[in-house]
């Protein structure tokens, strides 16, 4: 670990990076206004199928990029904290290039550098994001009729009521006045979270499932890690959503839905459809092609527009380009799930808490171990309820590890009760009645 003077120098470089990147608002710069949706759907319903026309305002970030290069060059890549700052500065540099090219196909290359592409291999190297997406879509489609028959639909809850409920939850968990929940008429997504506020789209309706997902995904991961980052004594960048941490953040947030039982197969299908849509756009599909793809998948017109708009954020809508961020939800989920299982197998569950100390990657959890041990990086002030109790987390993960050993191709109705035979274990003697 660096001595006091070296730590102070690194903290100053980190502060410079935070100041330099304050104006870089990646998602804000590429997102579409509600006006674009209204105009497109009005025309569509009249039979006029014309590509949407989003507005972008490219900005010159050359001074920011120069400062980021200087910061990166000043860092010692052989020192863990120096490597962390350099990697973060490099990702912000790529984001600045992306923002300078909004509205052009060049955004695609920068996006792929930051978020990857759907065809990239998942951990283990045997399947890609596209393969996984097709798997979940196939299962969802196979179960669709059965699930409709057994599920009871939740009554829709209007956004103002959801806002009140979530505000009470936030005040109870983080303390009064720490996090505000607000309505936003211009938000295309149903919800978005920052360090001190959670926004809900005005006019949106939420199921009870949606509300639970919002709490676990947005509040207890995105907002929580941002607030923990603000508690850090030396490195304010840990409170910022740098581009390099997005895959881990979204993977962790989706894992939170999974581990708490608040993700359903339809949610997995929506995530998976977006991955296939990105792949379609990269292969030449235009906005209307992708919009129709979502319609054919069963989404309504407003949702199909919103889904397609996510694919074409910042890029031409004529095909051959895409904003690839939505591919990280599934890829990140697999990586985070693998990380938690690895921690259990290696008897290192304490490592999982470090992931909440601020906004960082899985790689950072390991590379920054000396900084955690020395106190240069503080442990998390807040932890999600599900992560606080290692015993409960271990139980879920242990079952997951065991369940993965069962070969479902060897299971049928006749042998479901013959559990020992499934694992090649000799059956014990028959039990006596009442034993």
Q: Does residue 138 form part of some domain? A: yes
Q: Does residue 49 form part of some domain? A: no
Percent of the chain with pLDDT over 90: 66
pLDDT at 150 over 60: no
For residue 184, give the H/E element and its range.
strand 180-184
Q: Does residue 166 form part of some domain? A: no
Domain range for 362: 106-154+207-403
Average pLDDT over residues 90-105: 97
Question: Quick count: other Cβ atoms within 10 Å of Cβ 358?
Answer: 26
> What is the distance of C-alpha 294 from the center of its chain?
21
pLDDT at 404 over 90: no
- Please, which pLDDT band fits residue 114 given cuts at 50, 70 and 90? very high
Q: Taking Cα atoms as reference points, which of 226, 229, 206 lies closest to residue 218?
A: 226
CB under 8 A, 24+ apart: contacts of 181-189: 183/159, 185/34, 186/33, 186/34, 188/31, 188/32, 188/34, 188/37, 188/306, 188/309, 189/306, 189/310
The helix/strand/coil state of 338 is: helix
pLDDT at 432 over 70: no
Q: How many domains are contained in the chain?
A: 1
| pLDDT score for 431 | 47
Q: Does residue 335 form part of some domain? A: yes
Residues 31-87 have pLDDT tens digits of 998 899 999 999 999 999 999 999 998 889 999 999 999 999 999 989 999 999 999
pLDDT at 190 over 80: yes
Q: Does residue 325 form part of some domain? A: yes
Distance CA 155, CA 211 (A): 12
Distance CA 127, CA 116 (A): 15
φ, ψ of residue 197 to 5 degrees: the values are -150, 150
φ, ψ of residue 357 to 5 degrees: the values are -70, -15
Q: What is the DSSP string of 190-223?
A: SEEE-SSEEEEETT-EE-HHHHHHHIIIIIIIII
Q: Which of 16-20, 327-331, 423-427 has the lowest mean pLDDT?
A: 423-427
Q: Does residue 249 form part of some domain? A: yes
Whether 379 and 372 have beta carbons less than 8 Å apart is answered as yes
| pLDDT score for 54 | 95
Q: Does residue 431 form part of some domain? A: no
Residues 194-220 have pLDDT tens digits of 889 999 999 888 988 889 999 999 999
Q: Does residue 3 form part of some domain? A: no
pLDDT at 391 over 80: no
Rounded to 10 degrees, the C-alpha dihedral 182/246/20/27 comes to -50
Whether 229 and 379 have beta carbons less than 8 Å apart is answered as no
- Residues across the chain: 435
β-sheet with 180-184: strand ranges across: 180-184, 197-201, 191-193
Q: What is the pTM of this model?
A: 0.86
Average pLDDT over residues 147-160: 68
Using CA atoms, how far residue 219 sits from 198, 350, 358, in Å, is 7, 22, 14
Distance CA 196, CA 207 (A): 24
Any idea which residue has 């319903």 for tokens? 45
Residue 147: which residues within 8 A CB-CB, separation 6 or more?
265
Do the bridges between strand 191-193 and strand 197-201 make them parallel or antiparallel, or are there none, so unpaired? antiparallel
| pLDDT score for 133 | 92
| pLDDT score for 435 | 45
Residues 323-333 have pLDDT tens digits of 999 999 999 99
């Amino acid at each position: 670990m660096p001595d006091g003077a070296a730590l102070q120098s690194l903290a100053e470089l980190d502060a410079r990076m935070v100041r330099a990147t304050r104006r870089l608002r990646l998602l804000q710069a590429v997102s579409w206004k509600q006006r674009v949706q209204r105009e497109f759907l009005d025309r569509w319903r009249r039979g006029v199928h014309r590509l949407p026309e989003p507005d972008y305002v490219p900005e010159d970030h050359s001074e920011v990029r120069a400062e980021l290069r200087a910061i990166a060059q000043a860092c010692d890549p052989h020192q863990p904290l120096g490597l962390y700052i350099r990697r973060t500065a490099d990702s912000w540099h790529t984001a600045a290039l992306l923002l300078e090219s909004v509205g052009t196909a060049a955004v695609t290359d920068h996006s792929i550098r930051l978020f990857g592409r759907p065809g990239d291999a998942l951990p283990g190297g045997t399947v890609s994001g596209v393969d996984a997406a097709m798997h979940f879509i196939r299962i969802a489609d196979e179960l669709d009729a059965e699930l409709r028959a057994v599920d009871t639909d939740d009554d829709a809850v209007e956004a103002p009521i959801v806002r009140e409920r979530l505000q009470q939850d936030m005040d109870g968990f983080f303390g009064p006045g720490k996090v505000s929940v607000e309505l936003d008429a211009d938000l295309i997504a149903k919800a978005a979270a920052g360090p001190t506020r959670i926004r809900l789209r005005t006019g949106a309706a939420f199921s009870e499932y949606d509300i639970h997902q919002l709490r676990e995904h947005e509040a207890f991961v995105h907002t929580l890690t941002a607030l923990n980052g603000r508690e850090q004594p030396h490195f304010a960048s840990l409170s910022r959503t740098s581009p390099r941490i997005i895959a881990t953040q979204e993977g962790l947030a989706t894992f939170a839905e999974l581990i708490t039982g608040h993700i359903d197969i339809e949610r997995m299908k929506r995530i998976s459809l977006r991955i296939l849509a990105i792949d379609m756009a990269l292969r030449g599909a235009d906005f209307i092609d992708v919009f129709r793809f979502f319609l054919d998948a069963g989404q309504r017109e407003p949702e199909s527009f919103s889904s397609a708009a996510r694919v074409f954020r910042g890029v031409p809508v004529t095909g051959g380009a895409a904003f690839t961020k939505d591919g990280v939800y599934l890829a990140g989920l697999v990586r985070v799930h693998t990380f938690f299982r690895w921690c259990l197998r290696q008897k290192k569950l304490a490592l999982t808490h470090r992931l909440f100390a601020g906004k960082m990657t899985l790689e950072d959890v390991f590379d920054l171990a000396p900084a955690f041990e020395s106190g240069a990086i503080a442990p998390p002030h807040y932890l999600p309820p599900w992560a606080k109790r290692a015993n409960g987390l271990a139980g879920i993960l242990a079952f997951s590890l065991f369940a993965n050993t069962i070969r479902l191709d060897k299971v049928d109705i006749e042998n479901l009760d013959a559990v020992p035979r499934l694992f090649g274990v000799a059956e014990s003697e028959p039990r006596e009645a009442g034993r």
